[in-house]
């Protein structure tokens, strides 16, 4: 297992360097996306900021992901800690303590707070690249991808601006519905496994331990 002993704090962006559109960057971002298409499992924690007009709400989330489904649990604030959602295809289940509730179906393009992390992971693999470049974030060299996916209400496009560490692990994702910023996901811990061409699995870690 290759460990990148980094901690991704809640950050304000300080964009000091940006060189977009070069051939080298294009090949680099395609390699990053290919790694997420090969992903077989992921888990971690993230800080989620929800933008509701003039109001912002913040949550700390823990998540697990596999191709078969994902689970997202609220760790903070205490008022909603323990609430979790499980996504299996178009089936959604909500759980709290010993209760497991069938919440019916949802569209894979619906955007809700607990769906923001799985939606970000999906965009890392399947999003259509619109722009990409290298830029520094708080002095750290990063790879930035802007990708488009169908979704939102009334067929509105969803736009994902994703910053990756140089090793391809995610740092931050901003999700916009049309021209409106909806969610910001900051990955504080992240572990992923991906299949290799020879059938073996490789793992990568981002975390504070």
Structural domains of the chain sorted by starting position, each given as residue range(s) with its CATH number in brackets: 17-190 (2.50.20.10)
The sign of the torsion formed by the CA atoms of 172, 180, 178, 14 equals negative
- 3-class DSSP state for residue 86? strand
pTM: 0.81
Name which of 65, 109, 110, 111 is nearest 88 in CA terms.
Answer: 65
pLDDT at 10 over 60: no
Quick: pLDDT tens for 15-59: 333 345 555 678 899 999 999 999 999 999 999 999 988 899 999
């Amino acid at each position: 297992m290759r460990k990148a002993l980094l901690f991704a704090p809640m950050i304000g962006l300080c964009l000091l360097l940006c060189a977009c559109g070069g051939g080298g960057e294009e090949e680099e971002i395609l390699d990053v996306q290919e790694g997420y298409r090969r992903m077989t499992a992921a888990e971690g924690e993230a800080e989620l900021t929800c933008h509701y007009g003039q109001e912002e709400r913040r949550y700390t989330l823990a998540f697990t992901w596999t191709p078969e489904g994902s689970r997202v649990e609220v760790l903070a604030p205490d008022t909603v800690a323990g609430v979790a959602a499980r996504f299996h295809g178009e089936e959604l289940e909500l759980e709290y303590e010993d209760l497991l509730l069938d919440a019916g179906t949802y569209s894979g393009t619906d955007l809700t707070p607990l769906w923001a992390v799985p939606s970000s992971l999906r965009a890392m693999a399947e999003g259509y690249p619109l722009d990409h470049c290298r830029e520094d974030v708080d002095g750290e060299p990063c790879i930035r991808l802007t990708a488009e996916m169908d979704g939102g209400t009334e067929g509105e496009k969803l736009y994902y601006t994703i910053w990756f560490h140089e090793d391809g692990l995610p740092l931050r994702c901003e999700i916009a519905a049309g021209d409106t910023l909806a969610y910001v996901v900051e990955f504080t811990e992240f572990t992923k496994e991906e299949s290799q061409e020879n059938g073996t699995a490789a793992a990568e870690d981002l975390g504070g331990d």
